[in-house]
Structure 1
């Protein structure tokens, strides 16, 4: 119990100074929007709407997609309710600003500094707080509880790394988990994890990423991209991280020996890495077109670097073959449900520990292929390019898995109902 007071003291006194010192660098790296920095310190950029307000927190893009679907479902039951949706990443914030309905407002969540947290809660006065997946901010949890706001966790998930870390700090995490009014988690394995850390009556409602709507795209831009690519064979490497692009480049070079006009589309997880990636690819003698700088994609270009925000849906809609990144290195993998919903044949690496239960479902249904390095990646791409039947079967199996596991939202809404009735 000593750890919590120490955390509060440090976050109240030292953290604000440290955060201030790092903000300039975060802005430079594209991790913060300068005009919205006040929100990260608890200041609101919009007035609170009148009436009942549900606050939904979604850290990044995947959770933001869940938030959009959740709002749609709650609105069917209670159309008068307003929503405040917070996020951390710039990408998720920009996506939410574009896609949130009129009864919802987006703000960036403040850093977990007590005075900033209290300013945020005093301004917005939410009637109910819903956090998605694994955001466990101690000062926020304490303050929400002190403000008598029911706090719910949905789609709860603790990665292997997080579970191990919290396992060494059970005295820290237990009193925080006890303050949640309901813990709705992804699986029976997650139920056991939350229970062992002190969670009170966690229930398995399923993975809400299966319930999220298919990624949207601009149909005009999709038509334009398809027209430019024409009949060229191409594949998409999505949500890639530093350390993976080298393997993707080498896989591209191997595939090119059999398909000399192959186009590889790379969508980095962090678009701000675009200039660095472009320079690296040119060092390998590759012809690169960069989307963020509006480079015209030519037939002679080998790599299309899609370093833009919120366009993953466009490339999933266009593609037949998708490699999902964060899985060739120990990031833990990213969302393979999104390309599955858009009829893609899916490849991923061996490091899927952040989405283990999902990847197991897909593997059992033969809805994805696991590769281990640039050689097996290249071999899989060549095989899928040559064999349309294999490609279609893989995509069909993946879609079947995605559609068969979509009852999680129904279970979540059923659990939410008593809390909604009190608003």
Structure 2
């Protein structure tokens, strides 16, 4: 163990007595489920299923979305396999039943009726005793971490128990790589935990190798292999009838400080298009009331999906989970958020896969290769100001030939890369030892 890892371990243990109060505060703010706080301390009321168990950790919504298409393929390849899927956020927990079509209440339980092979738990915080409790209970036969989850105590415990581990869809931004380099040999030590690393891109592979990662598998991004976002077709038709012939654009996965710019762009575009409608979907649905209040203050009486209100005004706040597929199909094109503010951007492939032109701000570090590819293909446009975004919206409505060409280019670029999915599934199945704990 490196000196930095030792310091981290001691600091985490020292902080442990104060963390339950911090978790309770998060629960009061809606960032944790009160009934499931024990899981963050490694406790569970659910039994370990018999047979081989693969533990997959996907921190938040983006990581969870990328891994969900893998789950049924794992079952196809190993019908007796159970999967323990952990996340760190409640939004990711809500996404799982919404995307997989399970009737479940994630606020109360991680069980999915009709899918006994899949269990969701919240990941324990990086406290040695809590991680030990988690691993003692679940006894996973193998572990996989999605994108960039490098928690020192967690990975040290996995290595100490000789649990085969993989880092899949691995991503490392230039900023993160620079931070890890300042930590000395810690990154090399942590990356050495993994017997398999599947990088998202050649650039990610180079950065990981520069930190001393073991030999890397061929690059490939699971986000390319994701199916189109789902939609309730009857609901789409109903809402399309409500909207009528009014032109609609979408601002998706927006962050604080970004909605103001989106609404400014909407106001500017409406000077040329008075009947223009905006579907505004904040990244975190619990912010819906605040976003609607902001729209009201800026002169747009907004309605909210979560309040049962339809798109009857100029701005409709889509503050529900798992309905971006609905929004993108109702709109002519989409601005993808987290990009006009320095958040690294959200996934632009989702609207592109549905044939919708895309607008992106300058901050797309988390999806740099995808964003660059979409721009190069003519499927996405860079916008740096509300005025530029307004110009893009006006063109979206008034230039149907360009809109169709951009949409087709995006759909072609985002066509599923089945090989990425196959390689990921095969790599994970190879991790499972022939003799399992059961």
Q: Which residue of 2 aligns with 1:377?
A: 389
- Once residues 178 and 228 of structure 2 are traced to their aligned partners in structure 1, the CA distance between those partners, rounded to angstroms, is 33
SS at match of 1:366: coil
Q: Which residue of 2 aligns with 1:38?
A: 38
Give deviations 1:269-317, integer Å, cap 9, x for gaps: 112222222222211121110122223432xx11111112222122123
- Once residues 245 and 12 of structure 1 are traced to their aligned partners in structure 2, the CA distance between those partners, rounded to angstroms, is 39
Report matched runs for 1:254-293 at 5 Å: 254-293=268-307
Change (3 A) 1:345 1:311: same
Q: Which residue of 1 aligns with 2:406?
A: 394
Q: Which residue of 1 aligns with 2:224?
A: 210
Q: Which residue of 1 aligns with 2:107?
A: none
Change (3 A) 1:45 1:216: farther
- Offset of 1:183 from its aligned partner? 1.0
- Once residues 34 and 63 of structure 1 are traced to their aligned partners in structure 2, the CA distance between those partners, rounded to angstroms, is 23
1:228 equivalent to 2:242? Answer yes
- Offset of 1:88 from its aligned partner? 1.1
For the Cα contact (< 8 Å) 2:364–2:371, is it kept in 1? yes
For the Cα contact (< 8 Å) 1:324–1:336, is it kept in 2? yes
For the Cα contact (< 8 Å) 2:61–2:91, is it kept in 1? yes
Q: Which residue of 1 aligns with 2:12?
A: 11
Q: Which residue of 1 aligns with 2:423?
A: 411
For the Cα contact (< 8 Å) 2:84–2:120, is it kept in 1? yes
- Once residues 335 and 381 of structure 1 are traced to their aligned partners in structure 2, the CA distance between those partners, rounded to angstroms, is 19
- Once residues 46 and 406 of structure 2 are traced to their aligned partners in structure 1, the CA distance between those partners, rounded to angstroms, is 46
Q: Which residue of 2 aligns with 1:152?
A: 166
Higher relative contact order (CA 8 A, sep 6+): 2
1:194 equivalent to 2:208? Answer yes
TM-score by length of 1: 0.95
Report matched runs for 1:240-255 at 5 Å: 240-255=254-269
For the Cα contact (< 8 Å) 2:141–2:432, is it kept in 1? no
SS at match of 1:213: coil
Q: Which residue of 1 aligns with 2:184?
A: 170
- Once residues 157 and 189 of structure 2 are traced to their aligned partners in structure 1, the CA distance between those partners, rounded to angstroms, is 13
1:179 equivalent to 2:193? Answer yes
TM-score by length of 2: 0.92
- Once residues 46 and 17 of structure 1 are traced to their aligned partners in structure 2, the CA distance between those partners, rounded to angstroms, is 25
Change (3 A) 1:221 1:292: same
Cα RMSD of the aligned pairs, angstroms, is: 1.6
For the Cα contact (< 8 Å) 2:250–2:278, is it kept in 1? yes
Stretch moving more, 219-228 or 50-59: 219-228
SS at match of 1:54: strand
- Once residues 213 and 266 of structure 1 are traced to their aligned partners in structure 2, the CA distance between those partners, rounded to angstroms, is 23
Q: Which residue of 2 aligns with 1:355?
A: 367
For the Cα contact (< 8 Å) 1:91–1:310, is it kept in 2? no
- Once residues 415 and 170 of structure 1 are traced to their aligned partners in structure 2, the CA distance between those partners, rounded to angstroms, is 29
- Once residues 225 and 40 of structure 1 are traced to their aligned partners in structure 2, the CA distance between those partners, rounded to angstroms, is 39
Q: Which residue of 1 aligns with 2:109?
A: none
- Once residues 144 and 313 of structure 1 are traced to their aligned partners in structure 2, the CA distance between those partners, rounded to angstroms, is 37
Stretch moving more, 127-136 or 279-288: 279-288
Stretch moving more, 62-71 or 175-184: 62-71
Give deviations 1:320-372, integer Å, cap 9, x for gaps: 21100000111111101111121211111111111111111112211211111
- Once residues 325 and 290 of structure 1 are traced to their aligned partners in structure 2, the CA distance between those partners, rounded to angstroms, is 19
Q: Which runs of 5+ in 1 are unaligned?
A: none
Q: Which runs of 5+ in 2 are unaligned?
A: 103-114
- Offset of 1:107 from its aligned partner? 0.8
Change (3 A) 1:70 1:247: same
- Offset of 1:205 from its aligned partner? 2.8
For the Cα contact (< 8 Å) 1:65–1:213, is it kept in 2? no
**Paired residues, what number?**
420
Give deviations 1:142-168, integer Å, cap 9, x for gaps: 111112210101100012221111110
- Once residues 56 and 228 of structure 2 are traced to their aligned partners in structure 1, the CA distance between those partners, rounded to angstroms, is 20
1:129 equivalent to 2:143? Answer yes
